Amino acid sequence: MSRESFPDPFAGHPEWELEPPRPIVPTPATMSGQLRGRRVLIGLPGHGWRGDLRADEKVVQGSRTFVPVMSEGEWYRAEAEQTEIFAPLVPVERVWVEEYGVAGISLAADDLTSRLVSMDEPARRTPVAAVDAASLSGRRVVRLLDDGGEERDLRAVTELHTNGQGEVCARVTKELDWYRWGWSGHAPRTLEVAAQLLWAE
């Protein structure tokens, strides 16, 4: 499904065009300040990376510094229910923090060479417009706001579809509600977002 398949609501109004969301740029945790609640990746250069994790503040044991790391679902549940959970300690040099870079134009990778990355660090992640994403359900998404801001910590709960007014859109929910849906079974409150304002992280 290409972006050209949908009418452009900003056509003829260049002053209304919104910048794409900022990309995710992994930064070594050794270079970051407070970590509590931050999204992190763990791994080893040349080996691989694991994401969808949250960190707590650094812990020093002897001469080593560690970062308590837990799955995002466990972090949200602990915060919502004010409970303690087990968080493995990961050496700080194996932890990378998701920071936001400078917004730019999102380009689809059209050949293998353009998709190759360095194995020395986690790859930078450039947002993909919802109309260009292969799928949305369950993915982290960014909603662009009218003032040029971004709303993050959202998950898509549907694919793109046409609403009752004939507009192409998807429904999203706050990430806390997305995870609560899994541990409680309660369906989340959702918001309908126009496809042109939605990007997949």
Q: Per-block average pLDDT, block size 10, for the chain (201 residues)?
A: 44 59 96 94 95 96 97 96 94 97 62 82 94 96 94 98 97 98 96 97 95
Distance CA 161, CA 172 (A): 12
> What is the residue range of 137's domain?
3-21+127-200
- Please give the pLDDT value at position 168: 97
Whether residue 54 lies inside any domain: the answer is yes
Q: Are residues 81 and 133 in the same domain?
A: no
- pLDDT of 109 reads 52
125 vs 104: CA distance, rounded Å: 12
Total tally of structural domains belonging to the chain: 2
Predicted pLDDT at 173: 98
CB 201 within 8 A of CB 24: yes
Co-location of 16 and 68 in the same domain: no
d(CA 158, CA 189): 13
Task: Give a yes or no: residue 40 inside a domain.
Answer: yes
Do 188 and 136 share a structural domain?
Answer: yes
CATH of residue 133's domain is 2.30.30
For residue 195, give both structure tokens: 């496809």
The H helix count followed by the E strand count for the chain is 3, 14
Do 30 and 7 share a structural domain? no
pLDDT of residue 112: 77
Tokens 């998709």 -> residue: 115
At 178, which helix (H) or strand (E)? helix 175-184
